[in-house]
Amino acid sequence: MRVLIVGHGGREHALAWKLKQSPRVDQLYCAPGNAGIAELAQCVNIGGTELDRLLAFAREQKIDLTVVGPEAPLAAGIVDAFQRAELPIFGPVQAAARLEASKSFAKTLMHKYRIPTAESRTFTDAEAAIAYIREKGAPLVVKADGLASGKGVVVAQTVAEAEQAVEGMLLKKEFGPAGARVIVEEYLTGEEVSVLAFTDGNTVVPLVPAQDHKAAYDGDQGPNTGGMGAYAPAPVLTPELLKQVEREILQPTIDGLRQEGLLYRGVLYAGLMLTAEGPKVLEYNVRFGDPECQVILPCLQSDLLEIMLAVIHGELAGQTVTWHDRHAACVVMASAGYPGPYQTGKIITGLDQAAALPEVCVFHAGTATQGKNVVTAGGRVLAVTAWGETLQAALAKAYRGVSAIHFDGAHYRTDIAHRAKAVSQ
């Protein structure tokens, strides 16, 4: 089969790595890809939201399956366009992708179908939002309604911080159209965990649970990022809790969407808070998480291609999904200044040495080739991933990989999986 992956980050590198292992994949393409993906697939210089060009490429190359990595093409309607052209594609249609593209849409769905989530209100008027904030008091969470690359969420510990977040989104337009509506939400306490599931619109098959690290610095300090590392499986989510999440959150979400006339096919990502009252939804994503994808796929034993085809054809119930008995950990190496302004073009060394380590894979997130060199080309540059019989073994290997790599200004967290270590002690 000829497979096209849409995207250019660490998640897409992990997807390419896993799909390449399928005996049925003859030719792999990635648009636009990066320096690491280029070692596995033929990269084509087409952006993820250039839908007409992607469609033309898929037709010309007789692509048998297109796999969409990031959320922006899904929100732009890539699946709808490919389906109209009768080209197989993995991911939800545009209307279903509103689960991520519009937090207010997701909240409305959850309230209607009694899916546990934080109490919230949606606003377009800053004065009304601020009045609500003063009425409720802090702490609160303020979220931009639309897509903001994982950065449109402010956890406000004071009323003043919440007001400032609302003013930034609604008045200063810091997130552009994504912040034209804001959600002011109850602050939930507990452990965060990510539960992803394959679904064909009827059947739901959960993946191993993962935890990521959003804060830029050790001890969960600093600004939120797209994710500085992850590990799987997350011990905080016991098998019993996972069954509860499937029963009370994942299946009702898919069933609710179907009742709204939306057949959701692809990966559903539920970002959860494990509260004293039980698991509650913080947010939905409509694709593999990044960097959760980089730790979940090394744990997957089954052929990813076969699962994706079963999802597309509505045959997931007949598909057996099996997992390795292993743990995986990922450490993200980022550019100096990320998630704020950062420089690119820094030469990266040590990639071959890290890749030569046993049970280590260096997934490229923001890289490019410059002559004979691989250079930095993004905020998150590399996702150094490893696996082993225990989480501690996986972490040790991942950090060994990190220590082999160098680029000017590289920074990374040294405490990945600190929450899991606390659970196991």
Secondary structure class of 301 (helix, strand, coil): coil
Q: Does the pLDDT at position 61 exceed 90?
A: yes
How many Cβ atoms from other residues are within 10 Å of residue 172's Cβ? 11
Give me the sign of the Cα torsion angle 106, 108, 113, 116: positive
Tell me if 107 sits within 8 A of 171, measured CB to CB.
Answer: no
Q: Check whether 149 has a pLDDT greater than 80.
A: no
pLDDT at residue number 425 = 42
∠ CA 19-20-25, nearest 5°, is 85
As a residue count, the chain comes to: 425
Domains along the sequence of the chain with CATH: 2-93 (3.40.50.20), 125-180 (3.30.1490.20), 191-318 (3.30.470.20), 327-424 (3.90.600.10)
SS3 of 155, please?
strand
Distances (CA, A) of 83 to 65, 86, 89, 200, 314: 11, 5, 7, 15, 14
Q: Which residue, chain included where needed, has tokens 């190496």?
A: 333
Does the pLDDT value for residue 423 go beyond 60?
no
- For tokens 């399928």, the residue is 22
Residue 338 reports pLDDT greater than 50: yes
Predicted model pTM: 0.95
Could you tell me the two tokens for 48?
């993820």
Each residue's pLDDT tens digit, 208-254: 999 999 999 999 999 889 899 999 999 999 999 999 999 999 999 99
Cα 179 to Cα 93: distance, rounded to the nearest angstrom: 23
Could you give the CA distance from residue 21 to residue 268 in angstroms, rounded to a whole number? 23
Could you give the 3-state DSSP secondary structure of residue 173? coil
Smallest Cα–Cα separation from 73: which of 247, 312, 286? 286
What are 167-222's pLDDT values in tens digits? Answer: 999 999 989 999 999 999 999 999 999 999 999 999 999 999 999 999 999 999 99
Separate counts of helices (H) and strands (E) for the chain: 15, 23
Q: Extract the tokens encoding 291.
A: 């960097």
* CA proximity to 129, closest of 86, 175, 162: 162
